[in-house]
Structure formats: C-alpha cells, structure tokens
Amino acid sequence: MHLMHETPAEQGMDTGLLHEKYNVFERNPQASSAPEDVRTSSASKERSSAAEDLRDLRLLKILMRLSSIRFERLDALPTLPATGIVYLLIGIFPISVGVLLSLLVYHMSTQKMETSQEVNAAMKSNYDRESELKAFDDSKSGVKGLVDAGLLKIPRFFIHDRPIINDPNSSSTQVDIPVIDLKGTNVRAEIVENVRHASETWGFFQIINHGIPNRVLDEMIDAVRGFHEMETEEKIKYYSRDYQKRFFYVSNFHLFTGEAASWNDSFLSVMAPKPPQSEELPPICRDILIEYSDHIMKLGSTILELLSEALGLKPNHLESLGVAQGLFVLGHYYPPCPQPELTLGTNNHTDAGFFTILLQDLLGGLQILHQNEWVNVSPIPEALVVNIADLLQLITNDKFKSVHHRVLAQKGKPRISVGSFFRPFNEGIESIIYRPIKELVSEENPCVYRDTNLKEYVTLRNKAVGMNGRSALAPFKVESMKV
C-alpha cells in the first residue's frame, strides 16, 4: 500500500466523516474471531471466553465512546444528558444500558442522512476526531476489532468526503492492465518490449510463470490471514506505532494525519538488507515470510534485469544502483466493511520505493488510475502484480511511471494482499544519493529531478503527501527549484 509509505508513516491513508447511524450493539453474526479449532481444551475455552469478554468490554467502551460523541450531533436526541445517563448506568445496571442503547440506536437508525450535502455538512460539524482516533488506536484491535464487535456503521474518521464508486465491476473502463508471461514461448526481446510498454504507459503489469511455486503463494496468503485472525490478546502484542521496529502490526500508518482513514490493518516486516532472526517474527507467519521473501528477492533481480534492458541499459544496471538492496513486506487484511461506499480499503496513493511486487487473493478491489479512469487490476490465479514506484520514476527521469492506485472497501469476506516493497526501510537511507540515470538524460530529455537521498525524500514526501492524486515527486523537480 503504499509505503507508498515512506515510513509506514508513508502508507498515508485518508478519511473523514461520520454518519449518524453506525452502530454496534448487535453482534454481527458474520463477525470472525479466532477459528474455533484453535481453542481445544475446556480450560483454554474458559480462558478464551474470559479474554473475549474482556476484549468485548474494551471494544464496547471504545465504541460507546465513539457513539457518545455521535449523539452530540443528533438534533432530535437529548444529547449530552443522554450520554451522561448512559455512562451513569454503565456502572450500575449493565442490562439497562443495553436496553437504553438499543432504544437510542433504534432512534438513531430511523434518522436519515440521505444526500451528499447532508453528509458534507456532517463532516464539517465539530466532533472530537482526536478522541475517536485515540480510542480506536488504544484498542490495538484495528479495523478487524470494530468488525468483530459487530459494528454496523463505520466511524466518522473513515468516511471520505468524495463519493466513491465502490463496485469493482463498475469501473468505467473494461480494459485490463498488461499481463506478461515470463516463460512460455516468448523470446526475451518480446518480454523486454512488453515490460517497457507496460512500465511507460501503465506503471503496472501482472506477471505469470514467474517461478514462485503456488504452494508458497497460498501459504503466504494463509499466514497473513492467520496473523490477523489470531486471538486479539496475542495479536495486540505486536501493535505499534514505533516504525523503527522490524516487525509490527498497525491500522493505518497515517491515522493521525488528518485525512480519512482506510478500512484495513497491516503488518510490516523488514526483510532486507538485514533479514530478521526467526524469533523476531510471530510464529504463525515466520517460516513462510522468510521463504516467500527469498523468492521475492530472486524474482526482484529478474524483474530489475528486464527493467534495465527495457531502458536500453545493461541487465545489471539498476541492481548496481542498489535498487534491490532493501525489502519490506506488508501483510494487508481488509475486513468486510458494512458501508463500503463511504470509505476505501486503501486510499489513493503511489508507492514510495523503486518497485513493488503484490500478491493478492481472488476477491479483487485494487484499481489503478489510467488515463483518468479507475481500472480494475483483476485477480489472476497465481499471478503477481508489479508496479513502478516513485523512486524508479525519479531515476528513470520520468520514463517509467509511478501510478496512483487504491483499494475498494467491500462487503462479504476479508481480502488479503501481500506487498513486497523494494527500498531500504530504515537502514542506510541517508547514504545513497538518487538522481536521474545519466544515460537517460539528453538534450531532448533534460534532467527532470535534482539529487536527493532516501531520508530527504521520505521526509519531504511525508510533508507533500503523495496521496489523493497529488504527486509525491513534485518537490524534487528541477522546475520547483526555480520557483
């Protein structure tokens, strides 16, 4: 997603406004927690159910806090007194709370906020966004925690101020991004030509016959699902906003930046240049994460050779610039969303590094902005998606394009994807200077970008915010120095 994401800080997601009607207090029958078979003995069942109660209580408190803020906006409700009574009753008559809240929820759900004008008006109204964000972050349970608690209306900070066409089948164009067969009968020159065309015009392509065994792809997807669906008490140990860590899980790297949040949780694992010790990784995904990353590093080298040749350079040119020395992996989990038309799974962004290899399950939802239209990246079994990221656009002097993309939120099942991002995450980010490759600069193609290093790039990118259609590369343009 985006780290796109400079520091995961980069994953910059956005969000916005709340609706009256999200609520909660009815358990969502589809809500998933850890698989039943994880809990075997009756003792562990009791522990689990006590833990679940605690978790539910914590979530309930958070959700009530979110709701109580909402009550203040409801014209027809006795607002602050209602909230006060609710809190009073929590201490004394939990059952009454349930009844009272049910009545309030029923009343709220009869309130209609149909038009986008009303939605926009609600967005502008005052509400304590900071408190809502903090309550959500403190829960460490992510978006999945909200869904597990049975949330029926999404919190305001997830709501976007622009309408979102959310049906992946309704993308305005039926074109597909290029699919490149890395083996088959294709001669190398043909593959290189396809890579050149895709990188120059689409910034995205899918590859088949890439050599990573299906078993590895399937196990990787399962491990990401396994991590996000493990017992909350286990999972929250990894929740962190300390982006110096080599493995952590978080919801929305840019939660507090002021833009609308996105409907997903992610883990991040730094895999190169220094691979993690096995014990640094959670047992549920450790072995496959290491095996998968080994494959991805090798595939990355193959892709870099093709990209180098597609630029008319020697096959090892890009690799010799250190383009594949850093790798981190994001394991994304997009829980089903009760109001997918109001938010996004991943906000519109470009990726920050050199290039990304993405493994997605078969649910779909990834879209790229091509000639001003959102185009679906339709899942192809066993394929991987490759996209050019910002730094590769910079060093190719705009020959290859880093393209905006997003993921739709969806009802139904959780979506899983695994992004492998080629760029150093923390280590060595000050030492290497990036600038357009001199062989790609000429009188007809003057140098578009000034020199930068990764640290400066990440810092400026964070300020410029390469999301929502804006270019993260603008501050590095030679042009911008003249202004």
Ligand X SMILES: O=C(O)CCC(=O)C(=O)O
Q: Does 360 bind ligand X (CB under 6 A)?
A: yes
In angstroms, what is the minimal distance from the CB of 375 to Fe ion? 15
Q: Does 419 bind ligand X (CB under 6 A)?
A: yes
358 binds, among ligand X, Fe ion, none (CB under 5 to 8 A by kind): ligand X
- Residue pair 263/1 in contact by the 8 Å Cβ criterion: no
Tokens of 437: 């490759």
Crossing angle of helices 188-201 and 286-310, rounded to 10°: 90
Q: Does 357 bind ligand X (CB under 6 A)?
A: no
The amino acid occupying position 127 is Y
User: Which one among 33, 171, 206, 346 touches ligand X, defined by CB under 6 A?
Assistant: 346
Q: Does 133 bind Fe ion (CB under 5 A)?
A: no
User: Which one among 146, 220, 366, 383 touches ligand X, defined by CB under 6 A?
Assistant: 366
Tokens of 228: 């996000």
Which residue is closest to ligand X by CB? 1
Considering only residues 316 through 335, tell me which ones interact with Fe ion, judged by CB under 5 A: none
In angstroms, what is the minimal distance from the CB of 424 to ligand X? 17
**Number of DSSP helices (H) and strands (E) in the chain, helices first:** 14, 14
Q: Does 1 bind Fe ion (CB under 5 A)?
A: yes
User: Which residues fall within 8 angstroms of residue 275, CB to CB, at 6 or more apart?
Assistant: 290, 293
Interface segment toward ligand X; rule CB under 6 A; list 28-36, 175-183, 358-366, 459-467: 358-366
- Decide: helix, strand or coil at residue 384: strand
- In the bound state with Fe ion, the residue whose beta carbon lies nearer, of 1 and 77, is 1
Q: Is the dihedral of CA 138, 150, 413, 283 positive or negative?
A: positive
- In the bound state with ligand X, the residue whose beta carbon lies nearer, of 286 and 423, is 423
- Residue pair 474/461 in contact by the 8 Å Cβ criterion: no
User: Which residues fall within 8 angstroms of residue 140, CB to CB, at 6 or more apart?
Assistant: 235, 236, 239
Tokens of 117: 């004008």
Q: Does 351 bind Fe ion (CB under 5 A)?
A: yes
Q: How many residues bind ligand X (CB under 6 A)?
A: 14
269 binds, among ligand X, Fe ion, none (CB under 5 to 8 A by kind): none
Q: Does 4 bind ligand X (CB under 6 A)?
A: yes
- In the bound state with Fe ion, the residue whose beta carbon lies nearer, of 2 and 65, is 2
- In the bound state with Fe ion, the residue whose beta carbon lies nearer, of 1 and 101, is 1
Q: How far is CA 73 from CA 86, 457, 460, in A?
A: 16, 41, 37
User: Which residues fall within 8 angstroms of residue 16, CB to CB, at 6 or more apart?
Assistant: 123, 156, 157, 158, 159, 160, 161, 259, 260
Considering only residues 167 through 226, tell me which ones interact with Fe ion, judged by CB under 5 A: none
Which residue is closest to Fe ion by CB? 2
| Alpha-carbon span 356 to 82, nearest angstrom | 50
User: Which one among 324, 407, 429, 473 touches ligand X, defined by CB under 6 A?
Assistant: 407
Binding mask 316-345 toward ligand X (x if CB under 6 A, else -) reads: --------------x-x-------------
- In the bound state with ligand X, the residue whose beta carbon lies nearer, of 25 and 422, is 422
What is the binding site for Fe ion (CB under 5 A)?
1-2, 4, 351
